[in-house]
Structure 1
Amino acid sequence: MRREGAGFVPQILLVPAIAGLALLLLPLATLVARVEWTTLWADVTTPEAVAALLLSLGTGAAATLVCIVLGVPLALVIARAPARTAAVLRVVVTVPLVLPPMVGGVALLLLFGRSGWLGGVLADWGLRLPFTTPAVVIAQTFVALPFLVLAVEGALRTRGTGFEDTAAVLGAGRWTILRRVTLPLAGPGLVAGVVLCFARAIGEFGATALFAGNAPGVTQTMPLAIYTAFNGAGVSTGTAVALSLLLLVTAIGVLLLVRAWRPEVPR
């Protein structure tokens, strides 16, 4: 007798499904098993670890704010653009998601470096971005912005323009419609995008390493501190495992928060 809602998936497919689940869970379980619980607090409160944690949280929050300022208008433009224009813009926004982070770091360095298109202009003004804390924010923004844009754009496109048209007929202006209709309707997508954006920002490694460097207290974020520890420098290996656990817990918390804002899909 078939259980209601079980579908018609062949049972033999349970074997590769379980293998895939094990491939995802076993490394994480091994990480948790390697944590020295007796020294966990000491590991995550070393000066190097605290500096990396505070830098990650601070730059991640700053990058998320930049993503909101830039990403919400971009999402609005894409959602309300003609179909072909929206498709092209969506592809452009998606590129950083599939681009290797190291390539993104090289691109940022070539743009903002001393001989780059914008780096030369900034140098004339006495400003230098590469290998500074603002460079961390820029690198994080580059890799995290697509998460917010795609989440908000998807929410806006799904809702359509019916309520906005009704508000316009009733005499509401563009800014009133944006503030009272459009953004509230896109609220769940906006919250999900912001949370995912922040999680991606604090977990960024490749672009940050190339564009911002790995200077403790200046550009060494948590992922860079973990990488440094496992290469025999900086914080201890125990601290690296503890920081990895902290990032894992953060990721799980992010997923739970996003799940809480996602409406149930009826079967």
Structure 2
Amino acid sequence: MRSNSLLPGVAVAALALLVALPLGFVVLEAVFPALAQGSLAGPFTHFAKTLADPALPELTANTLRLGTGVVLCAALAGIPLGALRGLFDVPGARLWDALLLVPFMIPPYIAALGWIMLLQPRGYAQQLLGANAAGFLFSLHGVVFVMTLNVLPVVYFAVSRSMAATGSRLAEVGQVCGAGPWRCFWRITLPLTAPGIAASLLLVFAMAIEEYGTPAALAANSGFFVLVTGIERRFSEWPIDLPGASILSLILVGLAVAAFVLQRVMLRGHAFETMTGKPARPGRRSLGAWRWPAAALFAVVCLASTFAPLFAVLATALSRTLSGGLAIANLSLVHFEAIAGGDALQALSTSLALGVGAAVVTGLVGMLVAYCVVKTRARGRAMLDVLSMLPNTMPGVVVGVGLILAWNQPFWPATPYDTWGILLLAYCCLLMPYPVRYTQAALMQIGDSLEAAARVHGAGGATAMMRVLLPLLAPSLAAAMLLVFAVASRELVASLLLAPTGVQTVALFIWRQFEQGSVGQGMAMSVVTVVATTALTGTAIGLLRRRGLA
């Protein structure tokens, strides 16, 4: 009983430190425009000016168009692929898993730059095929296409793991009772996996509306601006408008909360849970004559999402000069030799360490928050749920400013500001929704009777969680932590604002190479980063499979 009352308190304290504190200072900055100068004068005076901006309706509409387009495309691609992977024996399944995880390892701004070099006039596609697709790429449709490929792993892994865990086994029971395969899919498999699908699509929407690099690189020149680009302009153009940027950020939060409420309304009355606690290995069916067409579908998606941008990145990294084009005489390792020094290796080790730290912290806190929301009757559960989701609706630049405002105050006896700790706090704040959403979806499929049975047989709360719930949650939690590691190890915007003197991450190293005009060296470092993070993630997946957790 004591543990039941303690867990919500620990969850509240963790979210207060990681999420509420920086986001609270963003709200204070929006309300009190002179907060950065240490004054609380003129509350709410900046709202009228910002909301009267004639560009605001267009920014908001464009943001909704972009988020909705990415969600629809990610659902159309990710759900069928995830269902095939989770329910059927797809040839080369583990290879497709590894290849579809790679796009998530590529920083979005790097992927966008790779697509520009591939499809622009006189780009690699024109050199090889004699045609370019610049008109498509530098438009809303191009942004949706590139962003969908970047976020596709979120939907794919959520659907495949959820369907593999419960859908196939219980659908077979339905067929034994006389139902056909499609009826079992619509009446058993899909309802059981609906929480996981909805959670992944909510994350995709939040990621789409908060992404800055891809819209700025691909559509800004065509006049397509979103709220995030509007926020960045208020930070970068003189005079700097911190209150206005904070107000626009609150509008982004409102859009994400509306999506969250819509998700809850759509799932209300449609949540199902299983009563068995056996984590049996999934029995996947044979595809029969569709075996190789399914493999061809995976190959086409991997060609577009993985090989095409990687080819552009690798071609640039291996080209002595961009003007030399795709020619044998232009091949060189000079860019890799240039980054072989200590700065690049130190940046890589720093990013990998911060990625592991963020994965561990968010995994522990996320599991705790999800348990309190789904399995307890604690007051304020809905607020915990909303608070854990809010960081993914905030641009990294706003979270960075919130952390600066929060921890650069004179009343703190000690502060992580100007240390590597501020970067860890930023990554944990930004990426908290991943483990919370994935773990919540898994918990909603686990009946309360399992934990109750453990309690009846003498297990305490901690024992029941460690011996009963954690083994059942391990696949979803491990997938979420791997995604956190992948994103944290290449995060850019918050790192630009918060990295202390002498601390350099991979994203900062690459960004500074581009600023200096060393595109080849930046791409070479991108190749090294993708290889390192993919190898570590693949090793982790292999270890989890040996233990039966993936």
Normalising by structure 1, report the TM-score: 0.76
User: Which residue type is aligned with residue 247 of structure 1?
Assistant: L
Q: 2:22 is matched with which residue: 23, 27, 35?
A: 27
Matched, 1:231 2:226: no
After TM superposition, list the pairs within 5 Å mapping 1:201-220 onto structure 2.
201-210=208-217, 212-215=218-221, 218-220=223-225
- Rounded Cα–Cα distance in structure 2 between residues aligned with 1:74 and 1:104: 22
Q: 2:172 is matched with which residue: 149, 156, 165?
A: 165
- Rounded Cα–Cα distance in structure 2 between residues aligned with 1:96 and 1:59: 19
- Rounded Cα–Cα distance in structure 1 between residues aligned with 2:25 and 2:104: 28
- Rounded Cα–Cα distance in structure 1 between residues aligned with 2:71 and 2:128: 27
Match of 1:10 in 2: none
Q: 1:39 is matched with which residue: 38, 46, 52?
A: 46
- Rounded Cα–Cα distance in structure 2 between residues aligned with 1:148 and 1:3: 38
Match of 1:34, SS state, is: helix
Q: CA deviation at 1:65?
A: 0.7
- Residues 179-223 of structure 1: CA distance to partner in whole angstroms, max 9, x if unpaired? 33322221111211221111111111123322x14247x421111
Match of 1:137 in 2: 144
- Rounded Cα–Cα distance in structure 2 between residues aligned with 1:226 and 1:109: 24
Matched, 1:184 2:179: no
**Structure 1 pair 170/200, CA: closer, same or farther in 2 (3 Å)?**
same
Q: 1:245 is matched with which residue: 230, 243, 250?
A: 250
Match of 1:3 in 2: 2
- Rounded Cα–Cα distance in structure 2 between residues aligned with 1:65 and 1:181: 23
> What percent identity do the matched residue pairs reach?
24
Residue range with higher mean Cα deviation, 115-124 or 101-110: 115-124
Matched, 1:113 2:120: yes
Q: CA deviation at 1:235?
A: 10
Q: CA deviation at 1:137?
A: 1.3
Asked if structure 2 preserves the Cα contact closer than 8 Å seen for 1:163 and 1:181, the reply is yes
User: Which residue type is aligned with residue 21 of structure 2?
Assistant: L
- Rounded Cα–Cα distance in structure 2 between residues aligned with 1:30 and 1:66: 35
Match of 1:67 in 2: 74
Residue range with higher mean Cα deviation, 193-202 or 168-177: 168-177
Q: CA deviation at 1:43?
A: 1.4
**Structure 1 pair 3/127, CA: closer, same or farther in 2 (3 Å)?**
closer
**Structure 1 pair 233/132, CA: closer, same or farther in 2 (3 Å)?**
farther
Normalising by structure 2, report the TM-score: 0.40
Q: CA deviation at 1:139?
A: 2.9
Match of 2:414 in 1: none
Asked if structure 2 preserves the Cα contact closer than 8 Å seen for 1:63 and 1:137, the reply is yes
Asked if structure 2 preserves the Cα contact closer than 8 Å seen for 1:49 and 1:235, the reply is no
Residue range with higher mean Cα deviation, 20-29 or 102-111: 20-29
**Structure 1 pair 119/203, CA: closer, same or farther in 2 (3 Å)?**
farther
Matched, 1:155 2:150: no
Larger Rg: 2
For structure 1, the residue ranges without an aligned partner over 5 or more in a row are 8-13
- Residues 9-61 of structure 1: CA distance to partner in whole angstroms, max 9, x if unpaired? xxxxx9xx979953544322221111043332541352222211110101210
User: Which residue type is aligned with residue 200 of structure 2?
Assistant: G
- Rounded Cα–Cα distance in structure 2 between residues aligned with 1:78 and 1:122: 36
Match of 1:94 in 2: 101
Matched, 1:146 2:153: yes
Match of 1:196 in 2: 203
Asked if structure 1 preserves the Cα contact closer than 8 Å seen for 2:192 and 2:445, the reply is no
- Rounded Cα–Cα distance in structure 2 between residues aligned with 1:163 and 1:255: 29
Asked if structure 1 preserves the Cα contact closer than 8 Å seen for 2:163 and 2:193, the reply is yes
Q: CA deviation at 1:234?
A: 11
Asked if structure 1 preserves the Cα contact closer than 8 Å seen for 2:62 and 2:226, the reply is yes
User: Which residue type is aligned with residue 34 of structure 1?
Assistant: E
Matched, 1:53 2:60: yes
**Structure 1 pair 119/60, CA: closer, same or farther in 2 (3 Å)?**
farther
Residue range with higher mean Cα deviation, 250-259 or 67-76: 250-259
Residue range with higher mean Cα deviation, 163-172 or 104-113: 163-172
Instruction: Report 1 or 2 for greater relative contact order, CA contacts < 8 Å, sequence distance ≥ 6.
Output: 1
Residue range with higher mean Cα deviation, 31-40 or 251-260: 251-260
Asked if structure 2 preserves the Cα contact closer than 8 Å seen for 1:143 and 1:201, the reply is no
Match of 1:161, SS state, is: helix
For structure 2, the residue ranges without an aligned partner over 5 or more in a row are 32-43, 265-384, 387-439, 449-464, 466-550
Match of 1:65, SS state, is: helix
- Residues 100-129 of structure 1: CA distance to partner in whole angstroms, max 9, x if unpaired? 2212212322343332438986957x8722
Q: CA deviation at 1:233?
A: 6.9
Q: CA deviation at 1:243?
A: 1.0
Residue range with higher mean Cα deviation, 224-233 or 39-48: 39-48
- Residues 203-255 of structure 1: CA distance to partner in whole angstroms, max 9, x if unpaired? 11123322x14247x42111111112211179955432211122234445666
